[in-house]
Each structure stands twice: as structure tokens, then as C-alpha cells.
């Protein structure tokens, strides 16, 4: 198991977590329970999990419990079930523990995966899982895109950003992404089909960089990072632009938050800026699955994964998210199918 040692105020470090061997009774769930016992195959590393490492109870999801295993989205195989909706051998996706085996008591949010030779199982924590759905809901429902619009995506090569950019291209938009390394910029331009991309770490003036890529201004900013990039984007928005506030991964240290100075642009340019949670749009999930899996099978989109091997690699993979180490969707392969 990967255990959270205690609450964390700064950017998470590997030493905030520890590996522990515990004994899980592999006996069937008790009579009358609807629990299932699963073997975890893939675990998803997601930036939002950092919020659960704080001792803060006012968010949309409660904090992790120090001394207990972390939890997150995963793909698992059912080993034993007393639940009529699942049987041994089924593959499922949904919330599970950061551990080799989990006893899942709350099964109502789990999704059964229909095995499909054309779609890797791991995609159910990425392209066809929560991050892919975030891109879909955020782009179509929050950004209200139109053909021909100018779209900017930050953290563009990541789990969410890479799909936002590709959906925007399929929608007929002009798309520019920012990312934190040359390798990621090359991926955006040469593999993911973005019109342009730049390394924000090499820009001394983010506002000037955006002006260079969007001389006519930005219609849609899909914001994955917050902070200085959001401030710079505000200055470069067009009148009636939309900003989808998806995440604030640049604001991970409580002691060093960055101020936003350009909010007046919301008024002068009549911008709509909206925060959103993918979970508010779950009624659209089956439509999303149908559209995005068919795009994938037709070769209209690609999806890049960064796969770490073994549960022991989970703490460093998770911490790496906050230093841009992941190239694409960060996943831990805990076991082979």
C-alpha cells in the first residue's frame, strides 16, 4: 500500500508517503454486503489528489486519512463478488485504493469495462476516464466553442490538455498549447496536431508570448494551471472570450500563492470565466464515451500515456506531476492483466 504519512502544506514530496505491507483477508465479503474484492491493475496519478493531502474539509472531496492508503481512480479486476452487478473476472474502473488489492464497499460509482481489443484497458483512467471526460465536458459545455475560434490550452501535453487541443482541432478551431519542455512542445506540434506550441519556461514575458501566438487575441482559454499564465491570458483575451477554469496546478504551495492582477479584463472585454468540475456533467458520460472512443478508433485522435511500473513507483510518479516530469497521462501499472 502507498500510505499518506501526514498532511502536507507545501508541494508534495516522496517522503510524504511510505510503502507499507498489510495483510488483507482474502475472505469473501460478509453475507448481505455488496462489497467486491479487486486486484488493482492501473492507478491514475492526478493533480487534484494533492488537494486531498491537506487538512482542509471545505472542498468538494474530503481529505485523505493519514496512516491510510491513498485512493484514486483505477482499473481493477474483480476477484470475488457478493454483488449481483459484478462477477469474478470483470474489469471495472472507478475509485480504488493505492494498493495491490482492495475491498471496495461503495460500488455504485464503479463502471464495468467492456473489453475491446482496439482500446487499451489503461485508457479507462485516461482518454476514456476522468481526465478525458474533463476535457470533453470543459471544452464543449464550458467553453461554448465555435468553428474558427482561437483556442489556448495550458499544460497542453498532459492528461486533460492533450485531448482538449485535439477536440478543438476537430471542431475547426486554431489551437496553441503551452508546456514545460522542448520534448512536450514537439509532441504538441508533431503528434497531437496543435497549430503551434511554446515552452512557457523559456518565456520571460508570458503576455508577450501569447501576443506573439495570438496577434488577433484568444477566444477560448482552457486553463489547467492558474497563476501567472491565467493573468497573461486575461490580457490577451478577445471581447466575449471564455475562460474555463479547470485546474490550478501552478498554485500547489500554500505559502507561495500568486496574485491575479488582470481581472478587470473580465469587465472591459465581457469575458465569461467559469470554474467547473467534471463530476457536474456525468449525465453526458455515455455520449462522451461514444464520441471519443469512435474518434480514437477512426484514428482521428491519439493519446499519450506515461506508464510507471510497479506500485513502489507511485510516490515518485505522483510528485513528478508537480515538476512536469510526466509526458502525457501519468499512470502506474500495478499488475499485468
Contact positions vs ligand NDP (CB under 6 A):
46-48, 131, 134, 155, 158-161, 179-181, 184, 224-225, 246-250, 276-278, 321-322, 324, 326, 329-330
Whichever of 35 and 229 has its CB closer to ligand NDP, that residue is 229
H helix intervals, 4-129 = none
CB of 177 to ligand NDP, least distance (A): 9
330 burial level (CB within 10 Å; 0-12, 13-18, 19+): buried
CB of 165 to ligand NDP, least distance (A): 11
Q: Find out whether 166 and 337 touch, Cβ atoms under 8 Å.
A: no
Whichever of 1 and 162 has its CB closer to ligand NDP, that residue is 162
What's the start-to-end Cα distance of the chain, in Å? 19
CB of 268 to ligand NDP, least distance (A): 26
Q: Find out whether 205 and 236 touch, Cβ atoms under 8 Å.
A: no
At 287, list the grid cell.
Answer: 455520449
Whichever of 101 and 222 has its CB closer to ligand NDP, that residue is 222
CB of 178 to ligand NDP, least distance (A): 7
Residue with cell 459545455: 141
CB of 195 to ligand NDP, least distance (A): 17
Whichever of 129 and 241 has its CB closer to ligand NDP, that residue is 129
327 CB-near residues (< 8 Å, 6+ apart)? 157, 183, 184, 187, 304, 306
Whichever of 17 and 155 has its CB closer to ligand NDP, that residue is 155
Whichever of 97 and 165 has its CB closer to ligand NDP, that residue is 165
Q: Find out whether 158 and 134 touch, Cβ atoms under 8 Å.
A: no
| Residues 237, 233: Cα–Cα separation, whole Å | 6
CB of 201 to ligand NDP, least distance (A): 7
Whichever of 256 and 268 has its CB closer to ligand NDP, that residue is 256
| Residues 131, 137: Cα–Cα separation, whole Å | 10
CB of 311 to ligand NDP, least distance (A): 20
CB of 37 to ligand NDP, least distance (A): 28
CB of 158 to ligand NDP, least distance (A): 2
Whichever of 64 and 101 has its CB closer to ligand NDP, that residue is 64
| Residues 210, 6: Cα–Cα separation, whole Å | 40
At 29, list the grid cell.
Answer: 465479503
Whichever of 7 and 322 has its CB closer to ligand NDP, that residue is 322
Please tell me what DSSP assigns to residue 76: E
| Residues 64, 82: Cα–Cα separation, whole Å | 27
| Residues 305, 307: Cα–Cα separation, whole Å | 6
At 86, list the grid cell.
Answer: 459484478
Q: Find out whether 37 and 80 touch, Cβ atoms under 8 Å.
A: yes
Q: Find out whether 222 and 245 touch, Cβ atoms under 8 Å.
A: no
Amino acid at each position: 500500500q502507498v500510505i499518506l504519512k501526514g498532511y502536507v502544506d507545501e508541494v508534495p514530496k516522496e517522503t510524504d508517503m511510505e510503502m507499507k505491507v498489510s495483510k488483507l483477508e482474502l475472505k469473501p465479503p460478509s453475507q448481505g454486503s455488496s462489497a467486491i474484492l479487486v486486484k488493482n491493475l492501473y492507478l491514475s496519478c492526478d493533480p487534484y489528489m494533492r488537494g486531498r493531502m491537506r487538512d482542509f474539509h471545505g472542498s468538494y472531496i474530503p481529505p485523505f486519512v493519514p496512516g491510510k492508503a491513498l485512493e484514486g481512480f483505477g482499473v481493477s479486476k474483480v476477484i470475488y463478488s457478493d454483488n449481483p452487478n459484478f462477477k469474478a473476472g470483470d474489469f471495472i474502473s472507478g475509485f480504488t485504493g493505492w494498493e495491490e488489492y482492495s475491498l471496495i464497499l461503495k460500488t455504485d460509482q464503479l463502471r464495468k469495462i467492456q473489453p475491446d481489443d482496439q482500446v487499451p484497458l489503461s485508457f479507462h483512467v485516461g482518454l476514456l476516464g476522468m481526465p478525458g471526460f474533463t476535457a470533453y465536458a470543459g471544452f464543449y459545455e464550458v467553453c461554448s466553442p465555435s468553428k474558427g475560434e482561437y483556442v489556448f490550452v495550458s499544460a497542453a501535453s498532459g492528461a486533460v490538455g492533450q485531448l482538449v487541443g485535439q477536440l478543438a482541432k476537430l471542431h475547426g478551431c486554431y489551437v496553441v498549447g503551452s508546456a514545460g519542455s522542448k520534448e512536450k512542445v514537439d509532441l504538441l506540434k508533431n503528434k497531437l496536431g496543435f497549430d503551434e506550441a511554446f515552452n512557457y519556461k523559456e518565456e520571460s514575458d508570458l503576455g508577450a508570448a501569447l501576443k506573439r501566438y495570438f496577434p488577433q487575441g484568444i477566444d477560448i482559454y482552457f486553463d489547467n494551471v492558474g497563476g501567472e499564465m491565467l493573468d497573461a491570458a486575461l490580457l490577451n483575451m478577445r471581447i466575449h472570450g471564455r475562460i474555463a477554469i479547470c485546474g490550478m496546478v501552478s498554485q500547489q504551495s500554500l505559502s507561495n500563492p500568486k496574485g491575479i492582477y488582470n481581472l478587470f479584463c473580465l469587465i472591459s472585454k465581457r469575458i465569461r470565466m467559469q470554474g467547473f468540475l467534471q463530476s457536474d456533467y456525468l449525465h453526458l458520460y455515455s455520449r462522451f464515451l461514444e464520441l471519443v472512443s469512435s474518434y480514437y478508433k477512426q484514428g482521428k485522435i491519439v493519446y499519450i500515456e506515461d506508464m510507471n511500473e510497479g506500485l513502489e513507483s507511485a510516490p515518485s510518479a505522483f510528485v513528478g506531476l508537480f515538476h512536469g516530469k510526466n509526458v502525457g497521462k501519468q499512470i502506474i501499472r500495478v499488475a499485468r492483466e
